[in-house]
A and B are shown apart, each in its own frame.
Chain A
């Protein structure tokens, strides 16, 4: 079965640079969620979108923004990167708002 696709899988950036992470949900899934997992930590919710509208917001820094496009894929834009932004970033999708979330393999971001 098709799963959530995330790209790139690995990304290395310098401090103060920008990064864009992409998420392609499972076909027919209309809701996307973003999570951040720092080293040795548990995943933390950042933001979610349903039908291209922001539906819920967690501990997402102001330097980050995200959107969902007409084909339901989503992009997480991260600016003025800091060392502390080094983490795994997971995208999840669900068929419908508030339904079971299925996670992608993640993007590992390293900020030097």
Chain B
């Protein structure tokens, strides 16, 4: 799976949109971009994933650039409960079935 790069930390004001970037310049054609988050030692929580097209669900939106070398996770109205470490992963589900977690971005939502 491709290596991903994320900022170490970010702050976001409560009620504002949180935009979390991720670089995955070596991603291959069959690898999806996955986002998980981990709230203080709880189990990683699946957020969203996508291959080429932008995706939206009840939690977030995922914007993937046309060349697929980077993506942005958008939490439209951040709340204090969104404070967590956000992980951007590449995963093909073929050959190797392990999720490789990098350092992630520590998002702090500020009141």
- B-contacting residues of A (Cβ < 8 Å)? 4, 31, 33, 35, 42-45, 48, 50, 55-56, 58, 88, 90, 92, 97-106, 108
Contact = CB atoms under 8 A, between A and B. Distances in A.
Contacts of A103: 36, 43-46
A42 B98 contact: no
Interface stretch (B15-23, B59-67, B76-84, B89-97): B89-97
B46 A101 contact: yes
A24 to B, nearest CB: 13
B64 to A, nearest CB: 17
Contact of A56 (B34, B42, B45, B96): B96
Given A103-B43, A103-B45, A106-B41, A42 B97 contact: no
Nearest to B97: A56
Interface residues of B, number: 23
Contacts, number: 58
Given A88-B41, A97-B97, A98-B94, A42 B102 contact: yes
The residue in A43, A88, A99 that gathers the most chain B C-beta atoms within 10 A of its C-beta is A43
Contacts of A43: 38, 44, 99, 101
B43 A98 contact: no
Nearest to A44: B101
A108 B101 CA distance: 19
A99 B93 contact: yes
B101 A42 contact: yes
Contacts of B68: none
Contacts of A102: 46
